[in-house]
Amino acid sequence: MGVRLTVLRESAPLERRVAMVPEVAERLSKAGFTLLVERGAGERAGYPDADYERAGAKLCTGPMELFDTSIVVGIGPPSPESVRSMRAGTVTISLLFPGRRIELVRSMQEARLRVFALELLPRISRSQSMDVLSSQASLAGYEAAILGAELSPRLFPMLTTAAGTIRPSTVLILGAGVAGLMAIATARRLGAVVEGYDVRRAAGEQVRSLGAKFLELSLNAEGTGGYARELTPEEKVQESQMVGDAVARADVVITTANVPGRKAPMLVGRDVVARMKPGSVLIDLAAESGGNCELTRPGETVVVGGVSIVGPIDLPSRVAFHASLMFAKNVQAFLSLLVDPAGRLVETYTDEILTASLVLKDGDVVHAPTRELLGAPR
């Protein structure tokens, strides 16, 4: 019969993605998995139930069917009601962020589940095919640029018309990680003049390779051994002023600085927002973890002095079809570590990817930061 794997319909209000798509479900079925899919799980992402049936999955409705399983996968963690229906030893795979959901983690501990949090995957080459944070961040960066173009009262590209020449918009991207680089590439494709900034000087080469200008002070920050030296307090003030000036002259600003498990760094204070032009737009991709802008409110748009500060929390869901496809392929790669070549669920976790992403195992809290939050004994 093979390992039984359940795919749940997401319960979060704005969530349109699904953790498994028919294309990947068919591959898993051929590999020996038995797939149970909650009815309607993929509808909001553009994947109808009939496609899952053709892929070899069984459609289920009630908990008796759904949770007669070995593994439960989701974009977000299962609901408290679903946790109560699971049997001890069930493996859950999702984006968890335990610090935000400590009571849910406590109930999962009481249910004696085996809980993997995909955001905790180590940053090593072997985990790249499983890296859901990167795959979803790239889509968030794309959508942020599209959203900026939609909300801005100014055109992105330069146009030469009978009424004269329209100058292109200036778009500033703060943070040159996966989301930032995709935002830069997308804004450039839309015809904007793009500037990028990152505290990592090495990111400059990537920013420039996409046709954007990289903001940096005209100083030598090279240290020993090829590493950048710590900036002096005076140089940090200069750098902050440089970034503030760039924010003030931009038509659209997209901030992307996010650190998993920690509050987002503050990049744009209210004093800098006061210098921005009326009609300017700031898209804050770190809204859900505290925001890069002092005035950001998660899930809301705040207008201050004619400047729109947007705190979206659902950007990958806006392109749910492809976001789900990428997530499902990441999950498929992760499953290759959890199920051995003979089709049996692995019981002892020795692979560093599994040990790094494991939060709970049969009632034991194995993730140290979560253990501290729960006050659990070592």
Q: Does 70 participate in catalysis according to the annotation? A: no
Q: What angle do CA 308, 311, 313 make, to 5 degrees?
A: 150
Set 11, 79, 85, 134: catalytic member: 134
Q: Which of 54, 128, 240, 245 is catalytic?
A: 128
Q: Rounded to an integer, what distance in angstroms lies between the CA atom of residue 29 and that of residue 36?
A: 11
Is 134 in the active site? yes
Query: Using CA atoms, how far apart are residues 348 and 365, in angstroms rounded to an integer?
Result: 15
Give catalytic status of residue 198 as yes or no. Answer: no
Task: Count the residues in the chain.
Answer: 378
- Based on the residue annotation, tell me whether 128 is a catalytic residue of this protein: yes
CB-based burial of residue 285 (10 Å sphere; 0-12 exposed, 13-18 middle, 19+ buried)? buried
How far apart (Å, rounded) are the C-alpha atoms in residues 205 and 214? 8
Surface-to-core class of residue 331, CB atoms within 10 Å of its CB (0-12 exposed, 13-18 middle, 19+ buried): buried
68, 200, 227, 229: the active-site residue: 227
Distance CA 204, CA 197 (A): 8
Q: Can you tell me whether residue 17 is helix, strand or coil?
A: coil
In three-state secondary structure terms, 194 is strand
**Active-site choice (131, 198, 251, 284):** 131
Known active-site residue 79:
no
List of residues 6+ apart from 49 with CB closer than 8 A = 37, 39, 40, 42, 43, 59
* Residues identified as active-site: 123, 128, 131, 134, 227
